[in-house]
Amino acid sequence: MGKKRIIEKTEEEILEEKNKLEEAKKKKGKERKKGVTKGRIFISASYNNTMITLTDKEGKVLSWATAGNLGFKGTKKATPYAASEVANVISEKAEKMGMKEVDISVKGVGSGRSSALRALAPKNIVINSIRDVTPIPHNGCRPKSPRRV
């Protein structure tokens, strides 16, 4: 086949590569938004699942959690207990990021709505406002025409 060449690197090149790797690790390992003090929490409680999203004031997603993501399966995802567990996970993530104040928006008609709010209330996060943003039809779609026989 031929002789194999072994490329020897100088110490300077090795140090440069090491520095590049360390910088990449720092960027990757950093919390995405460390030091965010104000944010929003969006709770979406459907009949099948409970989803909670943590964002900053502009609406950029910092973290999220769902009942299915925590390991609940099937009909257990829609229970109040699952929703409170999801709220606990989100509150821990918010505290790690240094969040102090939140505005909460609740959407949906699932059973996890109120239990998620109750789980968020005693944490070390100040709740400024709670809004219900459940979409409500205010005339609905056009009804079907009566059948002509």
Residue 7 pLDDT greater than 90, yes or no: no
Strand order from edge to edge, sheet including 38-45: 61-66, 50-56, 38-45, 101-107, 126-132
User: How far is the C-alpha of 111 from the C-alpha of 89, rounded, in Å?
Assistant: 18
| Predicted local distance difference test score (pLDDT) of residue 140 | 85
Task: With a cut of 50, say whether residue 31 has pLDDT above it.
Answer: no
Asked if 45 and 112 touch (Cβ cutoff 8 Å), the reply is yes
pLDDT score recorded for residue 139: 86
Q: What's the CA gap between 62 and 78, in Å, rounded?
A: 24
Rounded to whole angstroms, how far apart are CA atoms 66 and 10? 50
Residue 34 has pLDDT above 60, yes or no: yes
Q: Among candidates 88, 103, 95, which has minimal Cα distance to 31? A: 95
pLDDT of residue 60 exceeding 80, the answer is yes
Predicted local confidence at residue 24, as pLDDT: 74
Is the separation of the CB atoms in 44 and 108 below 8 Å? Answer: yes
CATH topology of domain 38-132: Nucleotidyltransferase; domain 5 (3.30.420)
Q: According to DSSP H, which parts of 30-77 are helical?
A: none
Q: With pLDDT > 70 as the criterion, what percentage of the chain qualifies? A: 92
The contacts found for 1-9 with CB under 8 angstroms, 24 or more apart, are none
What is the model's pLDDT at position 83? 94
**Which pTM value belongs to this model?**
0.71
Q: Which of 9-13, 89-93, 125-129 has the lowest mean pLDDT?
A: 9-13
C-alpha closest to that of 37 among 83, 95, 90: 95
| Domain boundaries, given as residue ranges, for the chain | 38-132
Q: Which two tokens stand for residue 140?
A: 């609905």
Q: What is the mean pLDDT of residues 115-119?
A: 93
Is residue 145's pLDDT more than 90?
yes
